[in-house]
Homo-oligomer: A and B are copies of this chain.
Amino acid sequence: MLSSKAKYGLKAMVHLAEREGRGPVLIAEIAEAERIPKKFLDTILLELKNHGLLSSKKGKGGGYTLARPAERIMAGEVIRILDGPLAPVPCVSRSAYRPCPDCQDEATCAVRGVMQDVRDAMAAIVDNTTLIDMSKRRGRIEPVLMYDI
């Protein structure tokens, strides 16, 4: 299950992708537009910033911007930062392998094989979906924004 945190993070990132090139965006604006509790979003964006996905500027005229072009930021990066490894069991994680505490022999574990397949299938999707892909796929909120000055 995707946590609220990761869900909010993805929504916020897509929001930023859609404002790309138009300067810093306020937390408050994102929170209102995407209906995310502002204080919670605070901590989420900070975490994404500390992992290098966002840049920020303080003070008047400040806000957040994507640290890289939106077409090079993958959904999988956001999810891993906010929710941890994708892998359903730690022993099949590539980014954060750990042996499962309860099985003494990975080779004879009946569960591992199928979970490895699941992990790979999930990774194949989220690591090939960019913020732009996500934005394009959603139904447009305000077409009026296209006629921006």
Asked whether A107 lies within 8 Å of B75 as measured between CB atoms, the reply is no
Chain B residues lying within 8 Å of A27, measured Cβ to Cβ, are none
Asked whether B111 lies within 8 Å of A10 as measured between CB atoms, the reply is yes
Copies in the complex: 2
Q: A107 with B139: in contact, given A35-B102, A122-B121, A126-B114 (CB under 8 Å)?
A: yes
Of A1-9, A47-55, A57-65, the segment with at least 4 beta carbons within 8 Å of chain B is A1-9
Asked whether A147 lies within 8 Å of B123 as measured between CB atoms, the reply is yes
Residue pairs across A and B with Cβ atoms less than 8 A apart, 15 shown, are A2-B115, A14-B111, A35-B103, A94-B147, A95-B149, A107-B138, A112-B142, A113-B142, A114-B126, A114-B129, A114-B133, A118-B122, A118-B126, A123-B147, A123-B148
